[in-house]
Amino acid sequence: MAGTLSSFSGAGPGKKAKFLIIGSSDSGVSALISRFSSLNLEHVSPVLLKVPGISRRAVSTAADEVSRLALMRRWFFARKPDAGFVLTGFPATLLQARVFDEWMDARDENLSAVFCLGETPNPVVNHYRVLGLLAEAEVLHLS
């Protein structure tokens, strides 16, 4: 596995790996996270961080975007800078990806790799492909 995941090479003893998993394949996410289990990385997702609300009223897309960014910002800046993570479900939009990049820059951190599970190209995938961070899923031999 070490030969196929060159993204691990930048993760030394004082620096933990930071990965994004983009896509909607639940089985693919589970398979990928199980490959990372030996690294003791925190698995984070907006779905896991969100506390069920009391109100059941409909939320607009813009309000949901603001809420998700605020939730993820609290998590990001509360963690230790050298702590590694596997982040799923975020960023889901190009705006979120750009904001996340700004957070990483503000803390002088870098992503180790971004994995895309799914066939459909979207602006977030293209964003990380242009930055040279995208690792295609076939490299991981996921089925």
pTM of the entire predicted model: 0.71
Ranges of beta strands (E only) in the chain are 18-23, 42-44, 85-88, 113-117, 134-136
> What confidence tens digit (pLDDT) does each residue in 21-48 have?
887 655 555 666 666 665 667 767 766 5
CATH, residue 118: 3.40.50.300
Q: Which residues contact 96 (CB under 8 A, 6 or more apart)?
A: 65, 68, 69, 72, 90, 124
Determine the structural domain holding residue 113 and report its residue range.
Answer: 17-50+59-140
> What confidence tens digit (pLDDT) does each residue in 8-20 have?
444 444 358 898 8
Residue 6 lies inside a defined structural domain of this protein: no
Per the model's pLDDT, the better-predicted residue between 117 and 125 turns out to be: 125
Number of structural domains found in the chain:
1
Q: Residue 85, SS3? A: strand
Return the pLDDT at 76.
94
Residue 97 lies inside a defined structural domain of this protein: yes
Residue 5 lies inside a defined structural domain of this protein: no
Residue 102 lies inside a defined structural domain of this protein: yes
